[in-house]
A and B are shown apart, each in its own frame.
Chain A
Amino acid sequence: MPLPRLIPCLDVAAGRVVKGIKFQGLRDVGDPVELGAAYSDAGADELVFLDISATVDAGLSAVDVAARVAEQVTIPFTFGGGIRTLDDATAVLEAGADKISVNSAALARPELIEELARVLGSQAVVVAIDTEDGRVRSHAATRDAVRDTLEWARECEQRGAGELLVTSIDRDGTQNGYDLELLARLRDAVSLPVIASGGAGNAQHIAAALEVSQAALLASILHERPARLVTLREELRDLGVNLRDAA
């Protein structure tokens, strides 16, 4: 297996990095390129940019953000939010992103996953799943998607998804630890790499998630402070997690 990955997540709205708890109360916390580059320097293995305004108000310039990030950042990054068609996805990848992430659009029309995978390759197609109590939620977790989380995960794999980014909504921003039970069930349900998201509060939480998942998404634990990633990496190494030597 490749080395476990630490993936800072930057929520983006209108071209700025924003922050909120449980998808509520957003505030501006910085420039996506500057923050992304700083996380890369701090040892991030990949980055995820999620345009959280996109599903609600499609006025994004994802391509511009992706192009600016690609100029400054030399590690892989995923771009999600507002991607509804193959053309949307292609434009973001051509701008320099390595993967795209789809969520509500795939729930509305699951064939989209197949269309993306066929042309872009599975390795470029991440399906983001927001989940609470074993059920999938859509539209920035504001709606019940009327689907069982594990069933949807399996369907995503069958349709050609390359990776699952699974966020436990009830843990998101709480720093109370990842939903390890759900992650273990996902590990057994699919053979895709899974990125665990929601609940990281300390290095022990992350180490536990990396026992059952291939990557950990880091959001509120970092507080937009790349220096925190440096200390987290040290703490994880002390816990025996085999992280990449990023020098």
Chain B
Amino acid sequence: MTGHTVAICRYGAGNVRSVELALARLGAELVDDVEGADLAILPGVGSARSAMEGLKERGTDVVLRERHAAGKPILGICLGLQLALDESEEDGGVPGLGLVPGRAVRLHSERVPRIGWAQVEPVGSDLLGQSLFRSEPTGVSDLGLRRGGEAFWFAHSYAAETEATVATSEGVSAIVEHGSFTGVQFHPEKSGAAGARFLERCLSRA
């Protein structure tokens, strides 16, 4: 996996260290250049409003939009996925980056926040051949997204509502793909061996 450069967006919204460590374990070269890296990662936990403010203050919103328009891979994690949508209904409505059509909505699960390991399965069998990493027809299994569902770790109160959903977990959007943007609601950097396999696949595609 060496040779891939990865830039993790730093904008004052959490869990950067864990993402860094996970990628370093996979042999990725961490760089600061969000525009030029092979893969840009938008991590994030916390509130959508302050996160968007953090992105704007640093001009990262513009860089990410340009990167997406240029077809360069971006991986959004958790809040990073939700920020890529048109808007979030958190805090009475927060405009997002608009990289992916859709919105983040409050969960109606039995227990909120929804915390823990839950299985992730591709949407519809017909999508198996083309989802996640469309360049590779067997993408889903390559990602460690085994049929029957492999568990990843979630910790969230909002989730994406979007047609770009390619995998779900208990009816909740778990993975979205739109153009060069891939977003995961779970935390691959905290999902043990399954998460490492997922990140490795994201890297090798970049």
Total number of A residues with any Cβ neighbor in B under 8 Å: 38
Identify which of B118, B155, B170 contacts A76 (C-beta below 8 A): B155
Q: Across the interface, name the chain A residue whose C-beta is closest to B51.
A: A121
Shortest distance in angstroms between B177's beta carbon and chain A's nearest beta carbon? 23
- A123 an interface residue at 8 Å Cβ cutoff? yes
A193 to B190, Cβ gap below 8 A?
no
B interface residue numbers (CB < 8 A to A):
14-18, 21-22, 25, 45-47, 50, 79, 109-119, 150-151, 153-157, 170, 187, 189-193, 195-196
A162 to B21, Cβ gap below 8 A?
no
Contact residues of B: prevailing secondary structure: mixed
A1 with B109, Cβ < 8 A, contacts A74-B196, A119-B46 known: yes
| Cα–Cα, bound, A100→B116 (Å) | 15
A1 to B151, Cβ gap below 8 A?
no
Q: Can you offer 10 A-B residue contacts whose CB atoms are under 8 A? A: A2-B116, A45-B116, A119-B46, A119-B50, A123-B115, A123-B155, A124-B155, A163-B113, A191-B111, A193-B113
Identify which of A5, A95, A191 contacts B110 (C-beta below 8 A): A191
| Cα–Cα, bound, A5→B155 (Å) | 13
| Cα–Cα, bound, A96→B15 (Å) | 6
Residues of B within 8 A of A238 (CB): none
Quick one: CB contact mask for A38-77 with B, threshold 8 Å, 1 for yes?
0010000110000000000000000000010011001110
Residues of A within 8 A of B17 (CB): 67, 70, 94-96
| Cα–Cα, bound, A24→B154 (Å) | 35
Quick one: CB contact mask for A207-227 with B, threshold 8 Å, 1 for yes?
000000011000000000000
A120 with B192, Cβ < 8 A, contacts A71-B21, A193-B113, A214-B115 known: no
Most buried by B among A120, A122, A214: A122
Identify which of B15, B79, B110 contacts A1 (C-beta below 8 A): B110
B156 to A123, Cβ gap below 8 A?
yes
A162 to B115, Cβ gap below 8 A?
yes
Residues of B within 8 A of A99 (CB): 155
B47 to A119, Cβ gap below 8 A?
yes
Residues of B within 8 A of A246 (CB): 192-193
Shortest distance in angstroms between A233's beta carbon and chain B's nearest beta carbon? 13
- A146 an interface residue at 8 Å Cβ cutoff? no
In the A-B complex, the 4 residue pairs with the smallest Cβ-Cβ separation, listed nearest first, are A2-B116, A123-B155, A2-B118, A123-B113
- A172 an interface residue at 8 Å Cβ cutoff? no
A1 with B170, Cβ < 8 A, contacts A74-B192, A96-B18, A121-B46 known: yes
A120 to B46, Cβ gap below 8 A?
yes
Residues of A within 8 A of B110 (CB): 1, 191
| Cα–Cα, bound, A70→B24 (Å) | 12
